[in-house]
Amino acid sequence: MKQGMGKVAVGAAVIGAAAVVGVAALVVRQRMKNSSRWARAMAILKEFEDKCATPEGKLRQVADAMTVEMHAGLASEGGSKLKMLISYVDSLPTGNEEGVFYALDLGGTNFRVLRVQLGGKTGGIVQQEFAEVSIPPALMSGTSDALFDYIVEKLASFVAEEEQRFQQPPDRQKELGFTFSFPVMQTSLNTGTIIGWTKGFSISDAVGQDVVAELTKALKRKGVEMRVAALVNDTIGTLAGGRYSNKDVCIAVILGTGTNAAYVERAQAIPKWHGPLPQSGEMVINMEWGNFRSSHLPLTEYDQTLDVESLNPGDQIFEKLTSGMYLGEILRRVLLKMAQEASLFGDTVPPKLRSASILRTPDMSAMHHDSSSDLRVVASTLKDVFEIPNTSLKTRRVVVELCNIIATRGARLAAAGIFGVLKKMGRDTLREGGGKTAIAMDGGLYEHYTKYRECLEKTLTELLGKETAATIVVEHANDGSGIGAALLAASNSHYRGGEAALPSPSPLPLPSPSSPSSPPAPEKVLEKF
């Protein structure tokens, strides 16, 4: 009996030992599996980091390519991916302007009307007021008359509210600057043909029409006495706003949902300009630099698929690497690959991780700036956006590192673009007689994404060298697009002569004569990546 019990005990011990060995084997296999997954995640991270690299040499190549394309775009229409549009703005505000001027800023589903009171040389901007109005969805796909009648009705109400406080001289017509951020072929300072609509608008009977004429007809229909003095886009408005407060401003850059740049060019350096040379000798150029592309841009598989699946494949490549509309989406695509191939968030891929454009750049910025020891902002963002309930600290650290890689690449490329513009203007080295060059920056990405802004400014110093960088001033020109349009209405007012006149604008800051006169041939542009 005792012998039988001994056999049972031995058998149980063997079974127990086998179970322990089995559990241990499972644990080891799970650990090996987890280790293998983590190794794959790290391999994806490292490959992405390498492909996004922007060493100084590459940035200089990007800047040189930007300069070459600027020359090509100035030489002929369609000669470059950069449109280099002539703005017909040949004099910017001086700070001497006086009077009350209006602006209309139409660039999306809302529009703004502004009023700016200017106090001349010593008064500056005495007062500014604005109202923001939503556009009913039906008007976004209706008729031109319906849209502009609605806009003018709201403008008229805004004007009437303050009519008593801002009385114009009886013989003086109100003047307005019009910021219109849709595709336009401009033919003078206050005429421009609508090429097409974007941002959800589809008003077919307005295409091919002069947008200023359409607005002017609505003003007449509604009995509003007002002249449209200037038609500009938001980047040129920012340049004008920056120039008003700082005479050294000669470049403006928007870094927001999209990106663009404008700068002051010598009129004689614009071969495609066939009109009479402007009195000032200068012309503001709207670069439309978001469409810049070069073989030197560090593109990844994620950028390529994002472009192919976008509304405008093959276009706006520089914008897709640098601007707020796309940075969060690039991050989502990398996280999706890590979830699929390395089970970063567990055995199943979180369904919401497959939803395009669900992760906005402000969310990415919040995670990138998370300074808590347990990265709780990262955890809550992943939970709120993707419904991923639990993440380990090391997973959150991977997310922060990806944010850093994407933002750093974008900021350094934007800095290289600015450096390219400075090279074209001959302001990338110390100038004879000294003098400073100021760059007016605007846009939510630049304003609110601190690490992006700091990286951009540090990179610009790296490319210029400390001595030259000390002569370059980068400043935030808040709300330049609206105020700038009103200021351009002032600097191009009909009433600059006579009693109520404004002083004639001083010439814009001239680019250095060291600007290259014979640029190298434009870089060959590949049709596909």
Cβ atoms of 415 and 460 closer than 8 Å: yes
For position 202, what pLDDT does the model report? 86
Q: Which of 234, 363, 428, 442 is catalytic?
A: 234
Gyration radius (Cα) of the chain, Å: 29
Q: In this model, does residue 276 exceed pLDDT 90?
A: no
DSSP state of 408: H
For position 20, what pLDDT does the model report? 56
- The Cα–Cα gap between 85 and 79 comes to 12
CA trace torsion 461, 462, 465, 471 (10° rounding): -10
* pTM of the predicted protein model: 0.84
For position 19, what pLDDT does the model report? 53
Q: If we measure between CA atoms, which residue out of 232, 254, 148, 227 comes closest to residue 186?
A: 232
Both tokens assigned to 519: 């640029």
What number is the average pLDDT over the span 381-408?
Answer: 97
DSSP states along 132-170: EEEPPGGGGGS-HHHHHHHHHHHHHHHHHHTTTTSPPPT
- Which residues 6+ apart lie within 8 Å of 53 measured at CB? 298
- The Cα–Cα gap between 120 and 96 comes to 4
What number is the average pLDDT over the span 405-412?
Answer: 98
Q: Which residues pair with 252 in a beta bridge?
A: 262, 440
- The Cα–Cα gap between 313 and 466 comes to 39
Q: In this model, does residue 392 exceed pLDDT 90?
A: yes
- The Cα–Cα gap between 351 and 366 comes to 22
Cβ atoms of 103 and 179 closer than 8 Å: yes
Average pLDDT of the chain to the nearest whole number:
87
- The Cα–Cα gap between 141 and 150 comes to 13
Q: If we measure between CA atoms, which residue out of 334, 386, 390, 397 comes closest to residue 359?
A: 386
Q: What percent of the chain has pLDDT over 70?
A: 85
Amino acid at 325: M
Instruction: Name the pairing type of β-strands 98-106 and 85-86.
Output: unpaired
Cβ atoms of 303 and 528 closer than 8 Å: no
- Which residues 6+ apart lie within 8 Å of 189 measured at CB? 87, 88, 89, 229, 230, 231, 492
The distance between the two most distant Cα atoms of the chain, rounded to a whole number of Å, is: 127
Residue 315 annotated as catalytic: no
| pLDDT (tens digit per residue) in 491-529 | 988 776 433 333 333 344 444 433 333 333 333 232 221
Cα 121–chain centre separation: 32
Residue 234 annotated as catalytic: yes
More confident residue, 432 or 309: 309
Q: Is residue 118 within a helix (H) or strand (E), and if so which, with residue range? A: strand 110-119
Q: Which of 31-45, 90-104, 345-359 has the lowest mean pLDDT?
A: 31-45
- The Cα–Cα gap between 232 and 178 comes to 6
Q: Which residue is associated with the tokens 């500056």?
A: 124
What number is the average pLDDT over the span 278-287?
Answer: 93
DSSP state of 285: E
Q: In this model, does residue 236 exceed pLDDT 80?
A: yes
Look at the chain and count its residues: 529
Q: Which of 121, 199, 272, 394 is catalytic?
A: 199
For position 35, what pLDDT does the model report? 81
